[in-house]
Structure 1
Amino acid sequence: MATATTTTFHMACKFITSTPLNYQNLPPSSQIILPLYNLHSNSLNNLQSTSSTTCRRRVSPVYNAVKAEESLQYKTSPPVSSKLVLVIGASGGVGQLVVASLLNRNIKARLLVRDPEKARTLFGEQDEDKLQVYKGDTRNPEDLDPSIFEGVTHVICCTGTTAFPSRRWDGDNTPERVDCDGAKNLISALPSSLKRVVLVSSVGVTKFNELPWSIMNLCGVLKYKKMGEDCLINSGLPYTIIRPGRLTDGPYTSYDLNTLLKATAGERRAVVIGQGDKLVGEVSRLVVAEACLQALDIECTEGQIYEINSVKGEGPENNKDRWEELFRAATVQ
């Protein structure tokens, strides 16, 4: 027979992962639902990978999936951007989608990754004027050479590991080392000239001592993410922090072509943005990646922290004006 403690644990875990959003309990400023990411899954499912026997550059499934989706929104190729965006955690589920979207929008990307070959597998061989790959680990301050940041205008950090012990913890890849030490090392090395730093964190970080979040925080993941947030807030750098709910769609780290080509938020393309760490729910990685890219240019997001979930509905796709409306409506006055 299960003990009372075991029963409480299971109930708390179930609450964290499956509790539906209760919008009636949200303040008016947080009750904003606008369409997001008008995905067409059929077009993604019909994609074909580039043959390795052709003379063209090798193109990855991740890039293909995002490019096909965004090609439905752009009638012509977007103009070349003056940005140089440094992406940390580029080989993770959210990071892959961020990089693919940057490439498709003609925004130059620079990646700091532990395994450059893995990045080449994910994103294919790209011209240096589109994609640059540097080897480094934020857990090691000596890896953060100033040359990595030369010319960088914006930073998106979406590093992370599992909340509980797993194979991903091998090699000292724990929440403390990744979410706290890694974030602090990175932030300390960033130049003051940056126009924006976007950090992907998590809902519940301000409530890690309260049930049910204390269950999720048994190994400290929420506490360490909050410490990383605080370091960025106190750095003096222009920042935006995105706190997603439970991540869905993917992960895209299995190198499973069928999974990558079916990258879709399904019917959950609308978005809920709030503040004050009140949202409980889940969010598509596609939504989180788009929120990160949009926050780079929307002025009102500077110095703000947003929780984000995705729900059923149509979306603003990559429309900046509609995203700005979402962020403005959520911002606590």
Structure 2
Amino acid sequence: MNKPRAALAMAPKAAEAVLDPSALAALRGVCDLAPPPVLDDFGTGHAATVLKDVEVLVTGWGCPPVDEAALDLAPKLRAIVHAAGSVRGHVTEACWDRGIEVSSAASANALPVAEYTVAMILLSGKRVLERARELRTGARDDFLRTARQVGNYGRTVGILSASLIGRRVIELLRPYDLRILLHDPFVSDDEASALGAVGVSIGELFTRSDIVSVHTPLLPSTTGLVSRELIGSMPPDAVLINTARGAVIDQDALTEAAVDGRIRAILDVTEPENLPPDHPLFRCDNVIITPHLAGSQGNEWRRLAELAVGEVGRWAAGAGFAHPVLRERLGQLA
């Protein structure tokens, strides 16, 4: 196998986190990897020297935009392998215009997000975190007097968007006694059924679901998609889970509904990403906010690295990418 010349383009701390020594050794086994430092600024003399011979860029969080100026410095560049999820922040129109092939580890990053979502669905059904909080105050449950709406048997879970993560959530929920609804304008009812869900309108999703989990990419068309009207239509005590992007939801409407105690919410993302400490959502016992931790972290970074190394190896061997990002599908991707 001819080893293509490659370079790392990402924030130094991203390279250190995702590409540990064993991952770097594996990467060097399939490509001729440029020595450090990694490229986090394409405007430097070091970057110009490295880019002139690069055929593959292995990118990650913090990669600068691969724009016309960067591409002019990299006349041999033919492929970009992203060792993270979305490529929107750095793969520009100029890359597509030049026919550069793109791959992403989005499918690997989808798994921990889906695992988080399933865990929160099951915990919220049993009201585990709320009841644990009550226990600390000295409250004691008589389990035979548990409210009948508590539990996970026969609950209806609505999945908003059959994205990579949304599809994996549906897959992971199959063993449980749950009814799964799906709304995605790009998925037919037959396709939804094949996934293991019932296709419904977005209005039905919110009125019929005990739990709605949002997996919609943030696009101009999806900003504010979960509107005040949809939030207001949710059944009392329903749960809204968001692991997508905060701006997909009308956060003011969500805050009002949560403060009033009409719905519960589990938010791994908010708008802005870091809410001010005095935000009303932090004072709601029916709201759980986590610090955007659902995606790959810790030992889960290894999965991203392994996928990226595999993609570079496939491309170098002429087999093509197993996880390509296609220009025509950008409007449906995060």
TM-score range, shorter chain: 0.3 to 0.5
TM-score, length-normalised on structure 2? 0.35
Larger radius of gyration: 2
Taking structure 1 as the reference length, the TM-score comes to 0.36
